[in-house]
Amino acid sequence: MENSWLDEVIWDDKGLVPAIAQDWSSGRILMVAWMNREALELTVREQRAIYWSRSRGKLWRKGEESGHVQRLHELRLDCDGDVVLLQVEQIGEIACHTGRESCFYRKLDNNGEWQVTDPVQKDPHEIYANQEK
């Protein structure tokens, strides 16, 4: 596969593009992360979500520590070319490092307070028990 499609992505000044992960069957937004050119190319090649970890300064294969892999079903580019959307199958039904299905588990209520809407499905200490922080 020729990689000219990567040239149509508008990368920021750090060579990154925001990546939204969406559950391909329910449409729920699971998380937002960052990708560099290599991460996006590998995501398509391996058909699984691979992101760029800004805090660790390296590629991060989603699920490499937790086992909660995101299998790619479809990749989309927004109208401006500066955001990618990954429609994924979330293996294990947990996308968030807090042990929830989605990273978007807080909703602003009418009193201006954040309310937790989604339960923890698995204790993060169990998910990452054998991993160094």
Residue-range domain boundaries for the chain: 4-127
Percentage of the chain modeled with pLDDT above 70: 95
Note the pLDDT of residue 61: 96
* CATH top-level class of 4-127: alpha beta
Higher pLDDT pick, 106 / 130? 106
Q: Would you state the pLDDT for residue 57? A: 95
How does pLDDT run across 49-69, given as a tens digit for each residue?
999 999 999 999 999 888 999
DSSP lists the bridge partners of residue 86 as 21, 75
Strand partners, 22: 29, 87
pLDDT higher at 92 or 89:
89
Per the structure block, which two tokens stand in for 8?
């149509």
Q: Give the count of beta carbons closer than 10 Å to the beta carbon of residue 82.
A: 13
The pLDDT > 90 percentage for the chain reads 87
Give the pair of three-digit tokens for residue 115.
Answer: 């309310």
State yes or no: pLDDT of 129 exceeds 80.
Answer: no
Question: Which amino acid belongs to residue 121?
Answer: Q
What value does the mean pLDDT of the chain take? 94
Confidence of residue 128 (pLDDT cuts 50, 70, 90): confident
Residue 132, pLDDT > 50, answer no
The pLDDT of residue 133 is 41
- The secondary structure of the chain as a DSSP string is ---GGGGGS---TTS-EEEEEEETTT--EEEEEEE-HHHHHHHHHHTB-EEEETTTTEEEETTTTTS--EEEEEEEE-TTSS-EEEEEEEGGG--STTSSS-S--EEE-TTS-EEE-S--SS-HHHHTTT---
